[in-house]
């Protein structure tokens, strides 16, 4: 059974509203809808979409809207959610509103749960839950809601809609509102960044050796286990595998990242506050010691993960920006956020699992040596048999 049909508003030849710098509503709606759907899938819901690409069902607006409702009805979805962004003749119009067909019933409850969650998260003016005879609310056979995130014609809100961090907040808030409406607890998915050490120092060092890391990389493992738990509650194994990935196990292949090397004491490619090109060594921070560089690395991971007390003033992290706080609570979420590639987080998870599964061989203890006094009375011959490696005493 399909729990939710999600419908990104507009599409194809219908751009919806357009912002002052040309941002099209259809594109933003699709981005948000796909993010919401993925989040709800991770919560165990079955989701389908009226569109996942830039398309529409018909050039006739009425036929297009009816086709979306029919798609949901044919799917026998339990609920329907339409994602939109608002527009008005007044460029200062602002805020968030969510629609249901009529007061009372599950549609209004769904709209209110989403509205409350979204307003709390993105902190734009609360325009409330409203009621309208929209086709996708009227023609759907299940409880339905339509959310208007904010005003794309407002220059400030259009800028927000260009920001992936903001879109992530929107999607999470909508998904959490849906889960609250359903009476289900929100489950954290993925591999947490914060938490106790998920592997030992000995495992980390053996894993590094097996990957032919230079001795300097192996020797730095204890610093991660010393700094990460005490300073930020970060799992040191997570930080250590990121160190490996970002530096190619500390440049074991003879290549340096963006022209920097171990003398930078920069374990994760942190740039200066001003930043710059990825291939510009001057855009990357040079720390005075490995302790300072690793502390900066831990602080940067901790602020991403939303660690308590972060952001903090006493940090060597040059890019300790408040707007990234809580942006990625799991290793998987670092993909597309810490690094551009969506697969970045999955790569780190794969490396982390290999580290956690590394077996450390216990050294075989040497037998204790004992001094033996030998007292022989009478005539005898003593010789050592080199081949048998035996001491032979003949009386």
Which positions are annotated as active-site residues?
148
Q: How many CB atoms lie within 10 A of CB 281?
A: 15
The CA–CA distances, whole Å, from 7 to 206, 319, 341, 364 equal: 50, 37, 27, 64
CA distance 221 to 225: 7
CA distance 5 to 136: 11
| Contact between residue 111 and residue 55 where contact means Cβ atoms under 8 Å apart | no
Q: Which residue has the tokens 């799991």?
A: 330
Determine if residue 242 is left, alpha or beta; phi over 0 gives left, psi from -120 to 50 gives alpha, anything else beta. Answer: alpha
> Which two tokens mark 257?
């990242």
CA distance 351 to 238: 9
Indicate the angle between helix axes 344-356 and 201-210, nearest 10 degrees.
Answer: 110
Please report, to the nearest 10 degrees, the dihedral formed by the alpha carbons of residues 328, 156, 270, 188 taken in order: 0
Q: Is the dihedral of CA 189, 191, 196, 199 positive or negative?
A: positive
| Contact between residue 2 and residue 48 where contact means Cβ atoms under 8 Å apart | yes
Query: Using alpha carbons only, how large is the chain's radius of gyration in Å?
Result: 30
CA distance 86 to 64: 19
Q: Find how far residue 21's CA is from the centre of its chain.
A: 29
CA distance 24 to 9: 11
């Amino acid at each position: 059974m399909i729990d939710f049909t999600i419908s990104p508003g507009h599409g194809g030849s219908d751009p919806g509203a357009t912002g002052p710098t040309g941002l099209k509503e259809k594109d933003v709606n699709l981005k948000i809808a796909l993010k919401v759907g993925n989040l709800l899938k991770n919560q165990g819901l079955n989701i389908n979409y009226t569109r996942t690409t830039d398309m529409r069902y018909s050039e006739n607006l009425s036929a297009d809207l009816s086709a979306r409702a029919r798609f949901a009805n044919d799917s026998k979805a339990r609920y329907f959610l339409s994602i939109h962004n608002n527009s008005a003749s007044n460029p200062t119009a602002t805020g968030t509103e969510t629609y249901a067909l009529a007061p009372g019933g599950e549609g209004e409850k769904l709209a209110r749960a989403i509205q409350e969650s979204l307003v709390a998260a993105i902190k734009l003016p609360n325009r409330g839950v409203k009621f309208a005879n929209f086709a996708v609310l009227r023609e759907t056979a299940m409880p339905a809601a339509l959310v208007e995130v904010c005003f794309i014609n407002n220059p400030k809100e259009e800028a927000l809609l260009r920001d992936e961090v903001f879109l992530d907040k929107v999607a999470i808030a909508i998904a959490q509102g849906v889960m609250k409406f359903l009476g289900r607890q929100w489950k954290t998915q993925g591999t947490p960044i914060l938490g106790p050490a998920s592997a030992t120092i000995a495992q980390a060092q053996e894993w590094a050796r097996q990957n032919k890391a230079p001795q300097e990389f192996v020797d730095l493992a204890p610093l991660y286990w010393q700094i990460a738990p005490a300073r930020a509650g970060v799992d040191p194994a997570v930080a250590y595998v990121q160190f490996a990935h970002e530096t190619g196990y500390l440049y074991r292949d003879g290549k340096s990242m963006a022209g920097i090397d171990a003398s930078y004491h920069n374990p994760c490619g942190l740039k200066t506050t001003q930043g710059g090109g990825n291939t510009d060594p001057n855009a990357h921070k040079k720390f005075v010691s490995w302790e300072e560089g690793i502390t900066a690395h831990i602080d940067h991971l901790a602020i991403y993960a939303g660690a308590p007390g972060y952001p903090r003033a006493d940090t060597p992290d040059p890019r300790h920006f408040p707007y990234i706080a809580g942006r990625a609570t799991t290793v998987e979420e670092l993909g597309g956020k810490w690094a551009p590639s969506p697969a970045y987080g999955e790569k780190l998870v794969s490396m982390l699992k290999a580290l956690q599964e590394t077996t450390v061989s216990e050294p075989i203890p040497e037998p204790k040596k004992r001094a033996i006094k030998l007292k022989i009375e009478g005539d005898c011959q003593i010789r050592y048999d080199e081949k048998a490696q035996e001491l032979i005493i003949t009386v």
